[in-house]
Amino acid sequence: MARLGDILVSRGMVTQNQLEAALAAQGSERGMLGQILLRRNLISLDQLGDALAEQYGVDYFDIVPQAINVQIARLLPENLARERNCVPVAIHGRELQLAMVTPDDIDTISETELITGYHVKPLVALDNAVQAALDRGFDDRMTARQTIVDMKMADLESAEHLEEIDLEPTDAVEEEQAPVVRLVRSILMGAINAGCSDIHLEPHVPEMRVRYRVDGELQSVMTIPNHTEESVVARIKVMADMDTTENRRPQDGRLTITEAGARVNFRVSTIPTVGGEKVVMRLLDEGGKSFELRTLGLSDADLKKIQSLIDKPHGMIVVTGPTGSGKSTTMYSVLSRLNAVNRNIVTVEDPVEYRLTGINQVASDNEHGLGFANALKYMMRQDPDVIMVGEIRDQETAGTAVQAALTGHLLISTLHTNDSVGAVARLNDLGVDNFKIAGSLNGVIAQRLLRTICDECREPCSPNEQLWTQMMGDKPIPDDAFFFQGRGCKKCLGTGYSGRLPIFEVLVMTPKLAEAVERGAPASEISRIAIKEGLVDLRQAGLSQVFAGRTSLEEVYYKLSS
């Protein structure tokens, strides 16, 4: 077989000197010879394609990833396709066109024929184009979109066929089942691969909207035709063991899927809207979740403070923050640290999201008289050492929780407040006397989750001085401070952010703070005392992450303002 370089020289596309320079650069530059020549603008893509076709004696295929049906691209297992640098691109009758970087690889051709049952016609293609086609083909969101297209085409073909023969369909449900099953699985797998926390299926006209919550932000993924949405919702209900005949009242369920040996649970909630049933599914990845304080992202100082709180035999620890700020993860991590054979740990949760070995978990059930307050009363008769209440949301629960903390139990719960000091005012609003708060509260952990700047497109930037002034007042920007932003790239889907990191504010109830709380001091005074006693507030914790280049000033401002 002729060498690519010799073919290019013989065709007059490059000179011998240019070829030798490119060959010499192969040790320091990425890619094969053809890619190096392309980057140096010595040849065009068409010229390289013609030369490769001559070299291997097959046709050159210029891959356009968006033009390849993802169902065809998936005819080969992903691991095999990536390892062999090949991708199925088209089917004609019983012939499968296989784009390959090395189309003379007989083993790959034979294995593809064995797996697919098609006769393979090899084509030559560039390595980066093959990988781009595989990236798109094995993106579950793309598969879901293609499935919707397939369903639309099937509907059109079915309608034309019925019009020609004038017959009624015999089993429409059975015909639609397979694509709906495939579509729902693609939505679920796409969510797992995207690292999202929630899936939203929202009925609108003319199409149902599907959105993923990634890094705390909702992103539109696809739309589903209105005539299909009922089947999609019904399929989800079947998987979650919910009543498929009931669509006039809210329902809750749970489903589990297994992929590559890993189990992922979804908490499913449906609610009727004017446009139809809205479905929200929360991902609960039990297999990939670990609950350890040292992996939460706490500073050494905050970790020591939390350890001092849970070392106390009784009292109350409150975790605060808005919905989706990671409070449950922090509570589970505290419970895991406390979990020991000599402790009786009992929880009441709504719902029980994760199962913890060795801990007695109770699901709150208001319909059967087992709401937070009642469950807490029953749990007090179960000889508990540690009690976890999912949320203190009413006066009765607050009063019972404080009483439990004052009578020799360590109680952990959550409140919805903006910062740690706000927990004092919130308990007071719920009818707890100041002297009881001062006597029962060991400490408060306030937290937020901030989006981290994408490491692929991270770049320096000038600070937004207006935001700085709103956050810090007259305090000047430090001369040695650097600020960064994400430019937006393929990895982060143009957002500039990829992943999240937590920030914490840990308030320990010292004697001075307890005295201020007991006499009913205002929040501003309690905050000043707490800072003098060593509190690092959320604002300072956020700015330290900004100066470290992990997040942006804008992200800190908007997350702490919300």
How high is the pLDDT of residue 510?
95
Q: For residue 109, what are the domain limits? A: 58-138
In contact, 88 and 75? CB cutoff 8 Å: yes
| Single-letter amino acid, residue 479 | D
Range of weakest confidence among 142-156, 296-310, 446-460, 505-519: 142-156
How high is the pLDDT of residue 108?
93
Is 60's pLDDT higher than 80? yes
Residue 466's Cβ-side half-sphere holds a number of Cα atoms within 13 Å equal to: 1
How high is the pLDDT of residue 235?
92
How high is the pLDDT of residue 139?
72
How high is the pLDDT of residue 27?
63
Cα separation of 361 and 387, whole Å?
A: 10
How high is the pLDDT of residue 65?
82
Mean pLDDT to the nearest integer, 368-382 = 87
How high is the pLDDT of residue 259?
65
Q: Among residues of the chain, what percentage have pLDDT more than 90? A: 50
Q: Which helix (H) or strand (E) holds 219?
A: strand 217-225
Per-residue pLDDT band at 155 (split at 50, 70, 90)? low
Cis peptide bond prior to 351, omega within 30° of 0? yes
Secondary structure (DSSP) of 112-163? HHHHH-SEEEEEE--HHHHHHHHHHHT-HHHHHHHHHHHHHHHHHHHHHHHH
Is 303's pLDDT higher than 90? yes
In contact, 321 and 447? CB cutoff 8 Å: yes
Does 47 map to a domain?
A: no
Range of weakest confidence among 186-190, 198-202, 453-457: 186-190
As for how many domains the chain has, the answer is 3
* Co-location of 66 and 213 in the same domain: no
* Co-location of 524 and 430 in the same domain: yes
Name the residue with tokens 């498929």. Answer: 244
* Co-location of 267 and 180 in the same domain: yes
How high is the pLDDT of residue 173?
40
* Co-location of 274 and 298 in the same domain: no
Mean pLDDT to the nearest integer, 262-290 = 85
Does 11 map to a domain?
A: no
CATH of the domain at 103: 3.30.300.160
* Co-location of 342 and 389 in the same domain: yes
* CA nearest to 361, candidates 319, 389, 334: 389
* Co-location of 87 and 127 in the same domain: yes
Does 18 map to a domain?
A: no
Range of weakest confidence among 74-88, 126-140, 406-420, 443-457: 126-140
Does 170 map to a domain?
A: no
Mean pLDDT to the nearest integer, 482-505 = 87
Does 411 map to a domain?
A: yes
Per-residue pLDDT band at 171 (split at 50, 70, 90)? very low
Dihedral class, residue 494 (left if φ above 0, else alpha if ψ from -120 to 50, else beta) = left
As a whole number, the mean pLDDT across the chain is 86
Cα separation of 512 and 15, whole Å?
A: 83
How high is the pLDDT of residue 132?
87
Give bridge partners of residue 414 from the DSSP assignment.
Answer: 319
DSSP-derived 3-state class of residue 449: strand
Does 562 map to a domain?
A: no
* Co-location of 220 and 312 in the same domain: no
Selected residue with higher pLDDT from 29 and 189:
189
* Co-location of 275 and 387 in the same domain: no
Per-residue pLDDT band at 238 (split at 50, 70, 90)? very high
Name the residue with tokens 């000599």. Answer: 342
In contact, 544 and 553? CB cutoff 8 Å: no
Of 250, 284, 318, the one marking the end of a domain is 284
* Co-location of 66 and 148 in the same domain: no
Give bridge partners of residue 361 from the DSSP assignment.
Answer: 347
For residue range 345-372, list pLDDT tens digits in order.
999 998 888 888 899 999 888 877 788 8
Does 261 map to a domain?
A: yes
* Co-location of 430 and 527 in the same domain: yes
* CA nearest to 382, candidates 340, 422, 354, 345: 345
Cα separation of 290 and 235, whole Å?
A: 31
Q: Where are the beta strands (DSSP E) in 398-553?
A: 410-415, 441-453, 458-461, 483-486, 497-508
Residue 223's Cβ-side half-sphere holds a number of Cα atoms within 13 Å equal to: 10
Looking at mean pLDDT, say which of 19-28, 78-87, 279-288 comes out highest: 78-87
* Co-location of 363 and 434 in the same domain: yes
CATH of the domain at 520: 3.40.50.300
* Co-location of 393 and 329 in the same domain: yes
Of 284, 318, 342, the one marking the end of a domain is 284
SS3 content of the chain, % helix, strand, coil (to 5): 45, 25, 30
Cα separation of 179 and 529, whole Å?
A: 62
Does 455 map to a domain?
A: no
Is 145's pLDDT higher than 60? no
